[in-house]
């Protein structure tokens, strides 16, 4: 398991930490399914002020023990708080929350698992075909247009594999290493960079440097 922890010195994100996990099955046994979870003990209010701590979970459809009709972006989240809002030394407390931002769901059950108007989304599909709004209707691939529009906005031309339509050719066409020419650490063009589509593939890091190197085997997305 490889873990990266990111935190940004920006007033809008300074209280957020992003944890990126890359998990590899290094055994010879094929794993057809697995669960991944996190254990947390936040002690909201201070290390010794935990007897009145509480926690709740907002499900993918916006419901929890305390809340209803929670906006879609705040769902599938566990959050904790201090019940009287007062921590060690009488200091006011806030809320502590954590959620999975980019994790796969069931993409073969014909269910809109995250209630966003899209059914059977997949994080590892190919770019697919282009939905231009002329030959192919912009509503193609959307199971509930009202929900989709509320969350992502009016459907725009996009590749079918980019279900929510957020891939921007002017910003995101930088290949599978995620490093574009504007970066000071830019190693040069890599697979998919500049091809005009949201290419997706995995490479086998045979030299162990953590980056894609020209000539390393590519595993295509299907």
Residue 216 belongs to some domain of the structure:
yes
pLDDT tens per residue, range 15-48: 899 998 888 888 889 888 788 888 888 899 999 9
Nearest alpha-carbon partner for 95 in 42, 38, 52 = 42
Same domain for 111 and 161?
yes
- In this predicted structure, the answer to whether residue 7 has a pLDDT above a threshold of 60 is yes
Q: Tell me what the mean pLDDT of segment 43-54 comes to.
A: 92
CA 215 from centroid of its chain's CA atoms: 29
Same domain for 200 and 151?
no
Alpha helices by DSSP H, listed for the chain, are 145-152, 169-172
* Structural domain ending residue among the three candidates 148, 167, 186: 167
CA 88 from centroid of its chain's CA atoms: 34
Same domain for 135 and 159?
yes
CB atoms within 10 A of CB 55: 14
pLDDT score recorded for residue 222: 47
**What tokens were used for 27?**
């055994």
pLDDT score recorded for residue 195: 92
Same domain for 112 and 162?
yes
pLDDT tens per residue, range 192-212: 899 999 988 777 778 877 666
Residue 100 belongs to some domain of the structure:
no
Same domain for 196 and 155?
no
Residue 128 belongs to some domain of the structure:
yes
Residue 50 belongs to some domain of the structure:
no
Q: Tell me what the mean pLDDT of segment 166-183 comes to.
A: 89
Q: Tell me what the mean pLDDT of segment 124-137 comes to.
A: 92
Same domain for 185 and 175?
yes
Please give the Cα distance from 46 to 51 (Å, whole number). 11
Number of domains observed in the structure of the chain: 2
Global pTM value = 0.72
Same domain for 217 and 190?
yes
Same domain for 155 and 175?
no
Q: How many residues does the chain have?
A: 222
Q: Tell me what the mean pLDDT of segment 151-165 comes to.
A: 94
pLDDT score recorded for residue 221: 58
Residue 16 belongs to some domain of the structure:
no
pLDDT score recorded for residue 133: 96
Quick check: 96 and 15 in contact, CB under 8 A? no
* Structural domain ending residue among the three candidates 167, 186, 209: 167
Quick check: 216 and 203 in contact, CB under 8 A? yes
Please give the Cα distance from 116 to 153 (Å, whole number). 11
Same domain for 163 and 117?
yes
Q: Is 219 helix (H, G, I), strand (E, B) or coil?
A: strand
What's the domain range around 185?
A: 169-222
β-bridge pairing 201-203 and 130-131:
unpaired
């Amino acid at each position: 398991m490889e873990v990266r922890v990111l935190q940004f010195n920006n007033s809008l994100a300074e209280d957020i930490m992003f944890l990126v996990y890359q998990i590899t099955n290094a055994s010879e046994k094929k794993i057809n399914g697995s669960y991944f979870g996190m254990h947390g003990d936040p002690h909201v209010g201070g290390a010794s002020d935990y007897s009145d701590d509480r926690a709740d979970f907002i499900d993918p459809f916006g419901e929890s023990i305390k809340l209803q009709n929670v906006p879609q972006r705040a769902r599938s989240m566990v959050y904790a708080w201090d019940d009287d809002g007062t921590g060690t030394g009488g200091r006011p407390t806030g809320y502590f929350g954590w959620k999975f931002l980019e994790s796969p769901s069931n993409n073969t059950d014909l269910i809109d698992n995250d209630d966003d108007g899209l059914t059977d989304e997949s994080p590892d599909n190919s770019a697919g075909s282009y939905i231009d709004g002329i030959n192919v209707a912009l509503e193609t691939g959307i199971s509930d247009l009202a929900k989709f529009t509320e969350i992502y906005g009016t459907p725009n031309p996009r590749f079918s594999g980019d279900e929510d339509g957020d891939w921007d050719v002017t910003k995101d066409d930088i290949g599978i290493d995620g490093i574009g020419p504007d970066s000071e650490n830019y190693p040069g063009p890599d697979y998919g960079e500049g091809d005009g589509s949201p290419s997706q593939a995995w490479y086998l890091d045979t030299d162990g440097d953590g980056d894609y190197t020209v000539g390393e085997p590519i595993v295509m997305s299907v």
